[in-house]
Amino acid sequence: TIPEEDWTDQVQIIGWLYQYYNTEPKDKVFADLKKNIKITKENIPAATQLFTPDWIVHYMVENSLGRLWLEGHPNDVLKSEWKYYLDEAEQEPEVQAKLAEIRKEYATLKPEEIKVIDPCMGSGHILCVLFDVLVRIYEDYGYTAREAAVKIVENNLWGLDIDERAAQLSYFAVMMKARQYDRRFFSRGIQPYVYAVPESSTLPENRLERLGPERAIAETLINDFRDGKEFGSILTPHVTLAELDAIRSRLDMMDEMADYGSLFETVVASEVADALRPLIDTAQALVQKYDVVVTNPPYLSIGSANKKLNEFVKKHYPDSKSDFYAVFIERCGKMTRTNGYQAMITQHTWMFLSRYEKMRKSFNGSFINMIHLGARAFDEISGEVVQTVAFVVIPSRITNYSANYIRLVDYQNELFKEKEYFKKENRFVSKQSRFMSIPGSPVAYWSSQNVLNAFENGTPLKMIALPRVGIITGNNERFIKYWYEIVFNDIIFSIQNYEESKQSSFKWYPYNKGGSIRNWFGNRELVVWFCYGGEDIIDNAKETGCFYFLGAQDVFFKEGITWNGLASNKNSFRFSPSGSLFDSNKGPMLFPKSKKEELGLLALFNTKVAQYFLNILNPSISLQAGDFEKLPILPLAKDDIVLGLCKENIDCAKIDWDSFETSWDFKKHPLIPQLRLGSETTFIDRDGKLGSFSVTSHRLANCFVEWQKAADDRFNQLKANEEELNRIFIDIYGLQDELTPEVEDKDVTVRKADLPRDIKSLISYAVGCMFGRYSLDVDGLAYAGGDWDSSKYKTFLPDRDGILPICDDEYFDDDIVARFISFIETVYGSETLEENLRFIADALGGKGSARDMIRNYFLNGFFADHCKIYQKRPIYWLFDSGRKNGFKCLVYIHRYAPDTVARIRTDY
């Protein structure tokens, strides 16, 4: 009862429903991967099912099948119907001559001769669009739509998938498409060439011998398809089309003979045919060449697959073995005729990553056009991980062909990308030979001549300082911690080399492992268990069989530059002082030969210029050492200015990092006044005599204004410095037409003052003073495990039992709110106490008196904020009697004792 004009939409809806039907199995597959359970052949469909946006399917089909027809049979009316068809860029005369030869071949094609396939057809979405375009091609040639529907199913359209249910949906989709154009199609007895790749079973000897001379062909097919459900369309059967015709004729003959033979002969013929015909039909689909191949292949790391599939891919597809989608790029190229078209949508990593460099260099085809989609081309996939590209290529090389490239990576959803597809400002025209000459041969179609000159004239980074990879522990949960999770005195900051660490019984060492986007300095928050040079990491690997790696030991603990191995949209580089170890994947390092080189390179790395080149070498979220080392380095101009700016930037970032208590170099909260209650300061009076006065009170609002000015000055200075570095390096690389020096506020990675955040951090510091973690009398940590030293606490004494009750009223002498008020009075004075409490309460927000608002924050907000600041590794632990806030208390991890819980129960 579905109206005919809505059938296409209904087929698409079925595809969406099937994808969501697979949601739970897909989630389970990826949950199992985290437990190191590999993906089996039964789970591959669920893990890789992804419905392609309709406009992208039209782009691929119109620019492959549609182009094939129009270039041999020009028709402006037909072309105008294909919304996403891209006109060819202007070509040089010798290229036009080559294209004319190819188009002569296209001109001889009749519609019945065109063969098209989707080898990963899923629920048939691409097949449906291919069908519609084929109908228009037949009509252009003089057929009616009804005649075209029959001929398309008989002659043109093939589809394959490993998923039986997907194949059934595709079969339904194609049949419905044919019925849309021919009301009597169901009665014609025509079956589409739409197959689930089968898995063979062994035929008994007495069945095989009846095949006569064709027995060897049957045995080859049985052997080839033994793991058909595992390998799917990447199989290449070891048979020819002639051999398939021969064995098909043999089966037909057996069927005819069975009609005149015994019941046994009938059963045998049927048994052999049932076993072999699916293999023969699928083998033909896999062996024959196609004029057009269009698909959205599965995206799946081969490392996630089981051993059998892994070994098959590595053997047959060594250049593209890292991911299924890359394997299919290679496989589809082999399925396409010399002057046919291959259209695909895949992840974009093959265009840039060093692990696909051999694949790019061995590519003998020509790009016709491309849409570089980037992240979020599929609305149901959020985040930056899946970044895609759709492209059309021809398997033969057309020297100096100018292709169209549409860059949509900066648009944040499916709808915007489709709208921006039509705008000229997003289009680039480039010759393949231009960007393939860049080291590593990235598909950097947007590269200007100045960029190419930089690669040609610059020195590769690896010739100056080679990026190095560090440690893989094999068990990060055990061996890597945030520094505040452990006894601080167990961390050593002064080891200078790996040999020294082998002799050291110290357990923990600073560790670089990426972190948030932060330039110049920071993200120094992790430590690694590395006593006796990593002895326990080695022993753990031997016991558990996990993989470990102790990296570039010759540079362990040396000063250098570290960066985020994974970054969503921008790479981030920082100075790393001596004494640190570093991660292999997420926190690699660079070790220049001199301080001058170190500062010069760090200055360059944190500019728009470096990011521009890194986006050419590898715009994925993972910056690999093999890509980074190709960065071209040009001679440094204005080196004194550059080095001075870099030093100042490092200092700004360090002051900012150390202003917050998650830094191990944190000294004192920035809102604590320089001169506390009762202290004395000196001054010169009008007569030039030396005098002194006692400080009696401070307004917290004034302290915040001072901090705000300092933070804003630091922010503005860093922003100005970064813009000046951008100007200098843009001039050096000649990129004035591509880049501007301006830096957006959001890209400056030191923090401005923020009243609610800073007041909450003051409260956190006060709680630290209550527990004895901090002291108003000493800088930095006063107690974080180890031996307690009571001499450090004079101005404000820590809580006696290390248990701070949080209640809805002041029931206990050490009530946390009462102690906090005492802290504020001690630090800022009694005269301004009420004013300061109101300032704190207003910053926290809420209603009621200042004391009530502060108490409400301790009851309902403090612990959540604490967990957020400390990355879900709280150092203050919350005991909670339930939702009605009858009783809560905090204890400090480093003052936790065997009797702490008992004392909470008995004393409170």
CA distance 859 to 849: 15
The number of beta carbons lying within 10 Å of the beta carbon of residue 190 is 16
Is residue 797 helix, strand or coil?
coil
The number of beta carbons lying within 10 Å of the beta carbon of residue 870 is 18
Which amino acid is residue 21, in one-letter code? Y
CB 868 within 8 A of CB 763: no
Please, is 69 exposed, middle or buried when counting C-beta atoms within 10 Å of its C-beta (0-12, 13-18, 19+)? buried
Q: Which two tokens stand for residue 30?
A: 């990826």
Predicted pLDDT at 813: 86
Closest CA to 490 of 444, 455, 534, 527: 527
Cβ neighbours of residue 283 closer than 8 Å, sequence gap 6 or more: 221, 224, 225, 237, 239, 244
CB 299 within 8 A of CB 346: yes
CB 405 within 8 A of CB 369: yes
Predicted pLDDT at 302: 78
Cβ neighbours of residue 289 closer than 8 Å, sequence gap 6 or more: 115, 335, 336, 337, 340
Which amino acid is residue 113, in one-letter code? E
pLDDT tens digits, residue range 389-431? 999 999 999 999 999 999 999 888 888 999 999 999 999 999 9
Give the single-character DSSP code of 377. Answer: S
CA 668-672-673 angle, 5° bins: 125
Strand partners, 370: 391, 405
CA 408-295-427 angle, 5° bins: 25
Is residue 870 helix, strand or coil?
coil
Sheet holding 560-563, edge to edge: 573-576, 560-563, 589-590
Q: Which two tokens stand for residue 137?
A: 């091609």
Q: Which two tokens stand for residue 86?
A: 């891209």
CA distance 260 to 649: 93
Residue given tokens 């521009």 in the structure block: 612
Label the pairing between strands 803-806 and 888-892. Answer: antiparallel
Closest CA to 342 of 390, 378, 293: 293
Give the single-character DSSP code of 776. Answer: T
Residue given tokens 């955040």 in the structure block: 757
Quick one: which H or E segment has residue 589?
strand 589-590
Predicted pLDDT at 22: 56
Q: Which two tokens stand for residue 806?
A: 């949080």
* Beta strands per DSSP E along 349-426: 366-375, 387-394, 402-407
What's CA 44's distance to the chain center, in Å? 21
CA distance 77 to 155: 25
DSSP codes joined into one string, 430-470? EEHHHHHTSTT----TT--HHHHHHHHHSEEGGGT---B--
DSSP codes joined into one string, 269-327? HHHHHHHHHHHHHHHHHHHS-EEEEEE-----BGGGB-HHHHHHHHHH-TTSTTBHHHH
pTM above 0.85, yes or no: no
Please, is 861 exposed, middle or buried when counting C-beta atoms within 10 Å of its C-beta (0-12, 13-18, 19+)? middle
Which amino acid is residue 345, in one-letter code? I
CB 398 within 8 A of CB 431: no
| C-alpha count within 13 angstroms, C-beta hemisphere, residue 797 | 5
What's CA 657's distance to the chain center, in Å? 27
Predicted pLDDT at 684: 45
Label the pairing between strands 589-590 and 560-563. Answer: antiparallel
CA distance 766 to 817: 11
| C-alpha count within 13 angstroms, C-beta hemisphere, residue 874 | 15
Closest CA to 763 of 819, 713, 709: 819
Closest CA to 99 of 388, 339, 445: 339
CA distance 531 to 504: 6
CB 521 within 8 A of CB 653: yes
Closest CA to 72 of 151, 126, 141: 141
Using CA atoms, how far residue 447 sits from 88, 104, 248, in Å, is: 20, 34, 53
Q: Which two tokens stand for residue 51?
A: 């419905």
Predicted pLDDT at 2: 47
H helices present in 35-185, as ranges: 44-48, 54-62, 65-72, 76-81, 93-107, 125-141, 145-151, 164-181
Cβ neighbours of residue 60 closer than 8 Å, sequence gap 6 or more: 126, 294, 343, 344, 345, 390, 392
H helices present in 691-790, as ranges: 700-733, 755-771
Strand partners, 460: 632
Which amino acid is residue 637, in one-letter code? A
Closest CA to 714 of 633, 779, 659: 659
The number of beta carbons lying within 10 Å of the beta carbon of residue 788 is 13
CA distance 293 to 297: 11
CA distance 706 to 700: 10
Which amino acid is residue 531, in one-letter code? C
Predicted pLDDT at 199: 92
What's CA 736's distance to the chain center, in Å? 30
The number of beta carbons lying within 10 Å of the beta carbon of residue 24 is 10
CB 159 within 8 A of CB 116: no
pLDDT tens digits, residue range 35-85? 555 555 555 444 445 568 889 999 999 999 999 999 999 999 999 999 999
CB 612 within 8 A of CB 606: no
Q: Taking the chain (908 residues) in consecutive chunks of 10 residues, what is each chunk's mean pLDDT? A: 51 60 55 52 50 89 97 95 95 94 94 97 92 96 96 97 89 91 92 94 80 90 92 94 93 76 68 90 97 92 79 92 92 95 94 89 92 81 72 94 94 89 94 87 91 93 92 94 95 90 89 93 96 92 91 94 80 95 91 95 96 86 79 90 97 97 97 68 48 67 96 97 97 95 96 97 98 96 95 95 91 92 95 96 94 95 96 95 87 95 92
Closest CA to 895 of 787, 794, 816, 815: 787
Phi, psi dihedral angles at 117 (to 5 degrees): -150, 145
Give the single-character DSSP code of 895. Answer: G
CA distance 340 to 319: 23
